[in-house]
Structure 1
Amino acid sequence: MAVEKTERLAVLIDADNTQPAIIEGLLAEVAKYGTANVKRIYGDWTTTALRGWKEVLLEFSIQPIQQFGYTKGKNATDSAMIIDAMDLLYTGKFQGFCIVSSDSDFTKLASRIRESGLTVYGFGEKKTPGPFVSACDKFIYTEVLRLKLNENEPIARKSMAELKQDTRLVRLLRNAVEASSDESGWAHLATTGGNIAKQSPEFDPRNYGYIRLGELLEATKLFDFDERVLGNGQSRAIYVRDKRKKG
């Protein structure tokens, strides 16, 4: 039986840089990491640009925060989100923050929250600048959340050849298995996943069309697998090993 996540999370959404089509998938993803005790979305609600968001706020119990654009060309929404985030941080009531935006202006905020020992989950489009992605403990691309909602639109899986041609991916996977392995070269799959997250916050097997890490590793044909029975025989664990270590 799955263990319910009890971490208290604050979800802060930049309406100017996020599409309402992701909201259902977003909140489902957030639920994997904890409970969204605060859900706020920031923007100028007097304009028609955010009309799509207005239709989903009540349904998903998201609190809209009004922020007028006082100066043309300046994003007042970012400042309001940052101020609120710091206020929430100082309450000491949360274990993590979910920052939903593709804007690099939140890079320093993410770093500051992590300095306080809290976890930062970032959500944004693939155009999100690298510094903001790297400042988060984990970063999820919202394109994945959109695909998840539309069951009639298949997620394009990368083929074995395509995966092997991605040298950065191959290096990341091999390094993570190596860092997690014992003397015989075998690494616990869950430990490997944690190691990958530390190296690359934006890594997600869904970005390559695979639901789970094990499926992605198997698709590369670069690793051996071993399913082991643990303890009293009631649980099992998957171990992986770089095929180059065989023999």
Structure 2
Amino acid sequence: MMAQSVAVLVDGDNISGKYATDILTAAGKHGEPSVVRVYRDAQSLSDWHNAYGYRMIHAGTGKNAADILLALDAMELLLVREMRCFVIASSDGDFTHIATRLRENGAKVIGLGEEKAPDAFRACCSSFVELGTRKPVAPPRLVPKENMSVRAFDLNVRTIIAALSKNGTGAQICEVGQLMKSLHGVTTSGFPEKNWRSYFSARPELYDLDPPGAEAKVRFRPEGFSHATTDAQRKIA
């Protein structure tokens, strides 16, 4: 049985050529990478010029030129060549639209990007693979420290997770972020962690996460919140 064809489309303005091998390795797990393209200004210096196995598509110097050309090619590959598996490598949230459209038409979309990739893009992909080395995260502590601090911010997050969770399965990460913004006007942009997955991962005492994926969920750890002291309580004390 022939392996399915995979289209590998890389936003060369956003992703470094140092990830060229990692991208092809990830793509190979889903089939045969028969279309492998990187989109950028081919006239400017880049480590992509030394990446073997990629066809460089000159997008020019216009604003978002590479993004637009990549999206057009993706739809052409879907509709004309009937490809049904796409690897889109970028950390740019603008690719949420093309990822959504491809999936609506029955295609699988594997997103690849760095830690800074926004939750919106991650959630619109069938699955997401993070590129680069992440800082190690301490394993969850089932019995948190008594003096661990929980801000009102986290209490609001816990309330939203509880409201969305069914039978303890948790809430989708993207939905938590959307409700925190709409109900409380809060995003993670003001924190060292620039997306919700990173925020939850940095607090294993309070939150438990599914592996990365389009419908990944987060759950709060009751024991974490029960042993924690809120900032407000600290001030009163």
Q: Which residue of structure 2 lines up, in the alignment, with residue 16 of structure 1? A: 13
Counterpart code for 2:87 = C
Equivalent residue of 1:143, what SS? coil
Assess if the C-alpha contact under 8 Å between 2:123 and 2:213 holds in 1.
no
CA contact (8 A) 1:5 1:33 kept: no
The structural deviation recorded for 1:130 is 1.7
Aligned residues: 164
Shift of 1:104: 1.3
Question: 1:139-154 maps to which residues of 2 (within 5 A)?
Answer: 139-144=128-133
The percent of aligned pairs where both chains have the same amino acid is: 29
Indicate yes or no: 2:87 matched with 1:107: no
Q: Secondary structure at the match of 2:141?
A: helix
Match of 2:169 in 1: 175
- Structure 2 distance, partners of 1:162, 1:39, is 45
Q: Mark the runs of 5 or more structure 2 residues left unpaired by the alignment.
A: 149-157, 171-209, 219-237
Q: Distance in 2 between matches of 1:68 and 1:35?
A: 29
More helix by share: 1
> SS of 1:40's equivalent?
strand
> 1:42 deviation in Å?
0.4
How far apart in 2 are the matches of 1:197 and 1:100?
A: 15
Q: CA deviation at 1:198?
A: 5.5
**CA root-mean-square deviation:** 3.5
Give the alignment's TM-score, normalised by structure 2: 0.59
Partner of 2:57: 65
The TM-score normalised by the length of structure 1 is: 0.57
Task: Output the CA distance in 2 between the equivalents of 1:14 and 1:98.
Answer: 11
Q: Which runs of 4+ in 1 moved over 4 A?
A: 162-165, 194-198
Where do 1:161-240 residues align within 5 Å? 161=141, 175=169, 197=213, 199-200=215-216
For structure 1, the 5+ residue unaligned runs are 148-154, 177-193, 204-247
Among 106, 119, 125, which residue is 2:114 paired with? 125
Deviation at 1:5, TM superposition (A): 8.3
Aligned to 2:40: 43
Aligned in 2, Cα 1:119/1:65: closer, same or farther, shift over 3 Å?
A: same
